[in-house]
Amino acid sequence: MTTSTRAVLLRMRRLLTIVASLAVLGGIIWAVVAELETQPTARDEPPAIVLRAPDGFDVKRLGGASLAAAAAGLRENPSVRAGVKYSENGDDIILLADRERQRLVEMRASRSGTIVERVWPEEVDRRLAWAIEHGNMDAPGLPPPSGKNLYH
């Protein structure tokens, strides 16, 4: 074999090695991307935090409902400490009426896992009547709610 033939064969071997290496690398990248695409996202999984009412509340389950329907369910329940658990827009919600302490408490768990508590003080029955008609508990002339994250 001549020197020029040997040089050509050496270059071809290097080129084939590079092409084979690139093919293997491409296959690895394709496999990783395909695996990542089949993994569930956070939106596909249920929340990691389970929402539960405090002890002592008579809680009814409504399933998918609106705030107005939840307020109507609370108004129909004569218990001093009543509650409803329902879902709205992907959030799990427990709405509690503490008639003894005259306050409404909403615990909302979003699909991302955030749990927020809001408390509306004073005049439970007036707020419930307002919520049934207007879809919110911010009745005129009553104090606004306070809120906080429950898991911090």
In 3-state terms, what secondary structure has residue 99?
coil
**Domain encompassing residue 8:** 3-39
Question: Within this chain, do residues 78 and 122 fall inside the same structural domain, yes or no?
Answer: yes
Q: Are 97 and 82 in contact (CB under 8 A)?
A: yes
Residue 48 within a domain: no
Alpha helix stretches (DSSP H) within 39-66: none
49 in any annotated domain? no
* 51 part of a folded domain: no
Query: What is the reported pTM?
Result: 0.65
In terms of Cβ atoms closer than 10 Å to its own Cβ (0-12, 13-18, 19+), residue 93 is buried
Residue 72 and residue 139 in one domain? yes
Return the structure tokens found at 10: 């050496």
82 and 132 share one domain:
yes
Does residue 79 lie within any of the structural domains?
Answer: yes
**Residue 111: per-residue pLDDT:** 77
In a domain, 52, yes or no: no
Q: Is residue 15 part of a domain?
A: yes
pLDDT, one tens digit per residue, over 21-39 is 999 999 999 988 888 877 6
Residues 65 and 96 in one domain: yes
What are the angstrom distances between the C-alpha of 6 and each of 2, 13, 18, 19, 89? 6, 11, 18, 20, 72
Instruction: Give yes or no: residues 29 and 82 share one domain.
Output: no
Same domain for 129 and 62?
yes
CB atoms within 10 A of CB 152: 6
Range 60-69 average pLDDT: 89
Q: What is the mean pLDDT of residues 78-95?
A: 90
The pLDDT of 111-133, averaged and rounded, is 89
Mean pLDDT of the chain: 86
In this structure, the number of other CB atoms found within 10 A of the CB of residue 136 comes to 13
Looking at the predicted structure, is the pLDDT value of residue 125 above 70? yes
Measure the CA–CA gap between 105 and 43, rounded to whole angstroms.
26
User: Where does the pLDDT of residue 6 fall: very low under 50, low under 70, confident under 90, or very high at 90 and above?
Assistant: confident
Residue 120: per-residue pLDDT: 93
Considering the domain architecture, whether residues 65 and 22 belong to the same structural domain is answered as: no
What angle, rounded to 10 degrees, do the helices at 67-76 and 124-134 form? Answer: 140
In a domain, 44, yes or no: no
pLDDT at 132: 92
Q: Considering its fold, how many domains does the chain have in total?
A: 2
Strands (E) located in the chain = 58-64, 81-88, 91-98, 103-109, 115-121, 146-149
Same domain as 119, residue 66: yes
- The reported pLDDT for the residue numbered 45 is 52
C-alpha atoms less than 13 angstroms from C-alpha of 90 in its C-beta half-sphere = 11
